[in-house]
Structure 1
Amino acid sequence: MAASDRKKEKIITANWSNLVSELLELILKRLGFLDIVHFRAVCSSWNRVARFYITSPIYFPLMPQTPLLMFRKNRRFFNLSDSRTYKTTRKQRQGRLGFYDYEDSWFVGSSYGWLVIFIKKLKVLHILNPLSFERIQIQLPSNMSKDIRFIFKAIISCDLCRRSTSSSSKSFCIVVCGTFQDKLGFLMHEDTTTTATTTTATTKTSITTTTSTTHLVGDGHQIYIDIICHNGMLYALSYVGLVEVWDFLSHPFPRKVLDIEFSPTVTRLIRKNCKLSRTKSYLVESMGELWFVLPIGESVKSMEFVVHKLDYGKKTWVNLDNLSNQALFISKNECISVLTRDLPEVRENFIYFIIEYWEKKTKKYRVGIYNFKEKEMVDLPEHMKSCTSNSLLFWIVPNPWIVRSM
């Protein structure tokens, strides 16, 4: 064929928007949260396929999600996978009420990619999606709010995104530990909601207010340090060196079914840490197991970590020497375990935690890294040295389902 003929030949270019949905779904299975956001920005057809697929009941990502480091004050997110900082736009933030709107607001927990925020003045809990801005408002009942000075931890019993797609199960439970008579508070949400919508020039925001029934349980003599839902039960860590196991679905109110004790040595360490900060001991689910994580040391240079695993058969705690292909991410009142096998940006046996320190009479926060296997602190990589803030930093695992409303 002559050169002139080849020039006349019609050039066929690939039209990526015409890829079949089955192929796009295979790609989506292998993408992390921010990659899904970028995927949706390619074209309208990709966006439509992604929205439909990740909100369907059959969706389950093959790739584990790398925790994002969230800056409380200015709603920025640092992503370990590409060492970049992302920030929501003014258009996204405008009219979207969140915990940064209140001076007396406190971050008290994170479950399934949702934040739980306590507004002390209003005696209100906000369940906030920090990426899609969806929010559920829960007014604390009088039997809980009248004695409350502070909430130390609050968790959600199920994934609210998956719950919302099921017509048969729209109830959930929020478990709270705080200063109300040193008891556990179970807020059993019923399927009764009222929704208020606010509109600005650029955005439309829905705020759902829920009604709940409440149970306060416990003998009133325990100080609860941490709580976690695991295998359909609530595990509550107390100051006296016990982990209480509660069946929160028991009718007509939650029922304690078991006490699991720590050794006297660990109990003394728990009490010592509790005097320094009430949130310095953690329960965390790790690959179907329940772990107990205890930071030790009053300064960064002397920082160490102790990790125990629950032996379900013997009802005892077993000391761990390494994290076995896993890493931990620790915030002020939250601990997250991730499998490092498919996350090259996360190092096996590393513990990524938040350090509080003072600089010129100002409290600041930054990331610290501890090598659990070698029992030593690790120098911070260059790309993480800029992750400092005058306001709280915390880790959150993004929930891929929440991009449906972004």
Structure 2
Amino acid sequence: MSCSSTSRSPGWADLPSEIVVSIAKSLVVAEVIRLRAVCSSWAWALGKSSGLRQNGLYNPFPWILLPNYSLEDADFCTFFSITEDRFYRIPSLKQFTDHRYHLLSSSHHGWLVTIDNVLAPCFLNPLTREMFHLPTLLTIPSRCSIFHSALGASYNKRMFYDQYLRKIILISTPLEERIAVAFCRTHYHGICMLFAGVEDEVWSIGPSLPLDLKCSLDDAKYNEGDDKLYALTSSGDVFVLQFKNHTLEIVSMVCRPIGYEHYHMFLGYISFSHGDLLLVNKYLRSYPSYNNAIKDTAFKIFRLDRVSCWAPVDDLGNEALFIGPNNCFALHDVEERKKNKIFFIHGVPIPKHLCFERK
């Protein structure tokens, strides 16, 4: 008696899992999502959403979340890909469409931060559909004097995240620890720093700024290169924080640039370019004769050099800076029409944008 067997030629679905992972490591997250949808064997090799990070598939993708003018009636989110010059619509999450949720800010690697009607922050990634929750901000210790006593019973939660809560940023490395830092404005225009992990039940108070440094927060940015958080004050100083030994510490301070014109009305932003810290000031001017309309008049860029001195930047070269209310980033080797430009992508109706070119 003889037996026969059938054989087939190997196809793309039989590609070894280590090769699939190796290919995916050179792709941005959006492309990895598409790759995982090709067949079940590739999806298995790349794992679930969390597996993207476990396998090191974590390249950032320069997308901008656009305003939703349909409000709760829309069932999608619209993103603009800067490098592709195209729009993407993806099915929305309830954190975008439910009026109980308020989009607060963004963090690195595509994480968005929302806050609900009990002041509980939620980190979510609209592409991978991952999300995790942090304890409600109602657990802030009472000794953290955030609220103005004159508000009394008139205080409400909307006032808190509109006027007092400045930023929440994910700082943990590795990401499985998921530690976040919150910056709040105190009633005397100072800065209160808080931190919490995904398994914590309450927020803990972070370090205090020096007594002679009474100012508010302009911007904050986490740098994966040195695993530190950089925070820019309204006075132009930058303090550097790091999460060590289960607590948040100020590890260094960077003084404002020499001749820093802090008496001007301006907005300050920070970003990183090739590992260097950039400081961007956008100067504003009020026009009383036009109902106190505020116009952008000029901007300055500084780069922190290797000896911790600020150097003026007159040319961005092949780079472009994108400055937004929640996040700022630099793109390298962009197309010719975007080189040596700064794009301010907030406060301007879509699809218009405001662009300054270095001369």
TM-score, structure 1 length as denominator? 0.65
CA distance in 2 between counterparts of 1:76 and 1:171 reads 27
Offset at residue 294 of structure 1 (A): 1.6
CA distance in 2 between counterparts of 1:305 and 1:136 reads 38
The residue that corresponds to 1:391 in the other structure is: none
Q: 222, 229, 244: which is aligned to 2:222?
A: 229
Offset at residue 331 of structure 1 (A): 1.4
Contact 2:303 2:313 in 1 (8 A): yes
2:343 matches 1:352: yes
Q: 168, 171, 184: which is aligned to 1:154?
A: 168
2:39 matches 1:43: yes
Identify if the C-alpha distance between structure 1 residues 32 and 251 changes in structure 2 by more than 3 Å, giving closer, same or farther.
closer
Between 221-230 and 99-108, report the one with greater CA deviation. Answer: 99-108
Contact 2:132 2:198 in 1 (8 A): no
The residue that corresponds to 1:305 in the other structure is: 299
CA distance in 2 between counterparts of 1:56 and 1:334 reads 21
Q: 171, 174, 182: which is aligned to 2:181?
A: 174
CA distance in 1 between counterparts of 2:130 and 2:16 reads 31
Contact 1:108 1:118 in 2 (8 A): no
Offset at residue 238 of structure 1 (A): 1.9
- TM alignment of 1:70-89, pairs within 5 A: 70-73=65-68, 74=74, 75-89=77-91
The residue that corresponds to 1:326 in the other structure is: 319
Identify if the C-alpha distance between structure 1 residues 32 and 303 changes in structure 2 by more than 3 Å, giving closer, same or farther.
farther
Contact 1:246 1:258 in 2 (8 A): no
CA distance in 2 between counterparts of 1:179 and 1:261 reads 22
Identify if the C-alpha distance between structure 1 residues 345 and 26 changes in structure 2 by more than 3 Å, giving closer, same or farther.
farther
Contact 2:146 2:186 in 1 (8 A): no
CA distance in 2 between counterparts of 1:287 and 1:20 reads 35
Offset at residue 344 of structure 1 (A): 5.2
2:15 matches 1:15: no
2:133 matches 1:136: yes
Identify if the C-alpha distance between structure 1 residues 104 and 262 changes in structure 2 by more than 3 Å, giving closer, same or farther.
farther
Letter in 2 for 1:354: I
Offset at residue 304 of structure 1 (A): 4.3
**Cα offsets for 1:17-70 (capped at 9, x unmatched):** 122233323322332232222212211112222227953645256xx5441121
Letter in 2 for 1:211: V
Q: 260, 263, 285: which is aligned to 2:272?
A: 285
Q: 207, 212, 215: which is aligned to 2:206?
A: 215
Q: 133, 154, 163: which is aligned to 2:175?
A: 163
- 5+ residue gaps, structure 2: 1-7, 69-73, 148-159, 286-292
Alignment size in residue pairs:
315
Contact 2:101 2:114 in 1 (8 A): no
What is the root-mean-square deviation of aligned Cα atoms in Å? 3.5
Contact 1:295 1:304 in 2 (8 A): yes
The residue that corresponds to 1:67 in the other structure is: 62
Q: 182, 185, 189: which is aligned to 2:192?
A: 185
**Cα offsets for 1:60-104 (capped at 9, x unmatched):** 56xx54411212435211223444322223xxx4xx441542367
Offset at residue 310 of structure 1 (A): 1.0
Identify if the C-alpha distance between structure 1 residues 79 and 173 changes in structure 2 by more than 3 Å, giving closer, same or farther.
closer
Between the two proteins, what is the percent identity of the paired residues?
Answer: 23
Contact 2:112 2:124 in 1 (8 A): yes
CA distance in 1 between counterparts of 2:354 and 2:179 reads 35
Match of 2:134, SS state, is strand
The structure whose RCO (Cα within 8 Å, separation 6+) is larger is 1
TM-score, structure 2 length as denominator? 0.73
Letter in 2 for 1:306: K
**Cα offsets for 1:193-234 (capped at 9, x unmatched):** 5xxxxxxxxxxxxxxxx5332236233721221123343444
**Cα offsets for 1:220-273 (capped at 9, x unmatched):** 72122112334344433222232233455378763464341223343234xx12
Letter in 1 for 2:259: P
Offset at residue 300 of structure 1 (A): 11
Offset at residue 184 of structure 1 (A): 3.3
Q: 342, 353, 356: which is aligned to 1:368?
A: 353
- TM alignment of 1:258-277, pairs within 5 A: 258-269=253-264, 272-273=265-266
Offset at residue 355 of structure 1 (A): 4.6
CA distance in 2 between counterparts of 1:245 and 1:236 reads 6
CA distance in 2 between counterparts of 1:252 and 1:222 reads 23
Offset at residue 16 of structure 1 (A): 2.0
Q: 313, 316, 321: which is aligned to 2:309?
A: 316
Letter in 1 for 2:353: G
2:119 matches 1:123: yes
Q: 223, 245, 249: which is aligned to 1:254?
A: 249
Identify if the C-alpha distance between structure 1 residues 79 and 319 changes in structure 2 by more than 3 Å, giving closer, same or farther.
same
Identify if the C-alpha distance between structure 1 residues 346 and 101 changes in structure 2 by more than 3 Å, giving closer, same or farther.
farther
Offset at residue 318 of structure 1 (A): 0.5
- 5+ residue gaps, structure 1: 1-11, 165-169, 194-209, 274-279, 358-363, 376-406
